[in-house]
Amino acid sequence: MYRNIPLAGLILWMLLLGACGPDTIFLRPGLDTPDQHVKNGLSLLSCGKIDAAHTEFLHAKRLNGAFAPAYVGIALVQGHRGDITGGFETLRQARQLAITQKEIGTVDQGVEQLRAMQLETGK
């Protein structure tokens, strides 16, 4: 009976050692998509966090260089920073990349928003 005590102690020590390890990190690959980064960027842009939004749009573009909504987001950031002309140039690139009707609609919305910014600033 006393021979099993060291074995039980060793097992208990191993269980405690394993329980003190780092937490498991679950990656959510569904959150690292160009579409999700554009959504995050638009949300940040609506809160006035222009630099953070720009980072999200650039990350979306890095994930998929032909993702037109990322270019629309970048154009809106340019508009918020006062570079309306640069924004329209970026939207021209977005229009060339837009394939689906949804993407074309997103580009059209971006054009409308930049035109509104242009009217506000008088440039």
Q: Mean of the pLDDT values across residues 84-97?
A: 96
Query: Which residue bears the tokens 């959150």?
Result: 31
Segment 8-25 mean pLDDT = 64
Check whether 4 has a pLDDT greater than 90.
Answer: no
Amino acid at 26: F
Locate tokens 């600033």: which residue? Answer: 121
Say whether pLDDT at 122 is over 60. yes
Q: Give the residue carrying structure tokens 């005590």.
A: 5
Q: What is the mean pLDDT of residues 56-73?
A: 96
Residue 114 per-residue DSSP state:
H
- Mean predicted confidence (pLDDT) in 79-97: 96
Q: What value does the mean pLDDT take over residues 60-66?
A: 95
Domains located in the chain, CATH noted: 29-121 (1.25.40.10)
Q: Give the Cα separation of 113 and 20 in Å (integer).
A: 53
Could you tell me the two tokens for 16?
A: 């405690």
Q: Which helix (H) or strand (E) holds 116?
A: helix 101-121
Determine the average pLDDT of the residues in 26-55. 88
d(CA 53, CA 43): 8
**pLDDT class of 123 with cuts at 50, 70, 90:** low
Q: In the predicted model, is pLDDT for residue 88 greater than 70?
A: yes
Q: Which residues of 14-42 are buried (b: 16+ CB within 10 A; e: fewer)?
A: eeeeeeeeeeeeeeeeeeeebebbbebbb
pLDDT for 16 beyond 80 = no
Are 75 and 90 within 8 A, CB to CB? yes
Average pLDDT of the chain, as a whole number: 87
